[in-house]
Amino acid sequence: MKLLEERILKDGHVLGENILKVDSFLTHQVDANLMREIGKAFATYFKTTGITKVVTIEASGIAPAIYTAEALEVPMVFAKKSKNITMTEGILTAEVYSFTKQVTSTISIAGKFLNRQDKVLIIDDFLANGKAAKGLIEIIEQSGASVEAIGIVIEKSFQEGRKLLEEDKRKVVSLTRIQKFENRKIVFMEADA
Ligand code: G4P
């Protein structure tokens, strides 16, 4: 997605070896116009696939996921990273290890928001090591729903997430793919949509 690549080049900052800071439009401050375009791009790609729900994980997945859900005219559900006291019945959970934070956390979704008839599109802001996506797949499949594909806003293709998901026969559709960081410059490769 050209608009997104341009924005990453303009406002993204490479930190250290493998982190891209995009807090001015995606992970902290959010550019709603850009998110709407991201939502439309995913919806154009998936419009004929019969998606019934978009699922993401809090926090930074929510913005691209809600605009995708809006464009596909289906509900969006986000996995929570901590249980709250109103989540009392039928909770589906999975363990997710974060390499970035070096902690394992339990993510959860109330079972009533997913069912066997659902065809789910997972949306997330970053694909790095693929652990968040794996955890979401586990939760979704516990409900009997099927995962159609994983839609990613920014894929860091030099990390193992995509490989891991594809080994598991999952379809990954990334709007941007970063091949590498070279002297703090971002090098893109051809994206999926
Ligand atoms: P994984 O889910 O693909 O395995 O990734 P990893 O454990 O490496 O990353 C954990 C968190 O760090 C995720 O957010 C992920 O989106 C984020 N992340 C990974 N690489 C980058 C990067 O290059 N830049 C930025 N800005 N974030 C990155 P999270 O902990 O779930 O955070 P949030 O969504 O609550 O903000």
What pLDDT does 141 receive? 98
Distance (Å) from CA 19 to ligand 1 centroid = 9
DSSP 99: T
What pLDDT does 159 receive? 97
Check if the beta carbon of residue 85 is closer than 8 Å to that of residue 146: no
What pLDDT does 101 receive? 82
Calculate the alpha carbon distances from 22 to 27, 52, 157, 178 in Å. Answer: 6, 30, 17, 14
- Ligand 1 atom closest to Cα of residue 156: 23
- Which protein residue's CA is at the shortest distance from atom 20 of ligand 1? 128
pLDDT tens column, 91-150: 999 999 988 788 999 999 999 999 999 999 999 999 999 999 999 999 999 999 999 999
Q: State the Cα–Cα distance between residues 73 and 89, nearest whole angstrom.
A: 27
Distance (Å) from CA 117 to ligand 1 centroid = 30
What pLDDT does 123 receive? 98
pLDDT tens column, 151-179: 999 999 999 999 999 999 999 999 999 99
Distance (Å) from CA 157 to ligand 1 centroid = 14
Ligand 1 is surrounded, with C-beta below 6 A, by: 19-22, 27, 57-60, 98-101, 125-132, 156, 161
Distance (Å) from CA 49 to ligand 1 centroid = 28
- Ligand 1 atom closest to Cα of residue 100: 8
pLDDT tens column, 48-102: 999 999 999 999 999 999 999 999 999 999 999 987 777 677 999 999 998 878 8
User: C-alpha angle 13/8/150, rounded to 5°?
Assistant: 110
Q: Is 64 helix (H, G, I), strand (E, B) or coil?
A: helix
- Which protein residue's CA is at the shortest distance from atom 21 of ligand 1? 19
Nearest to 92 by CA among 108, 69, 74: 108
Q: State the Cα–Cα distance between residues 49 and 38, nearest whole angstrom.
A: 18
| Predicted TM-score (pTM) of this structure | 0.96
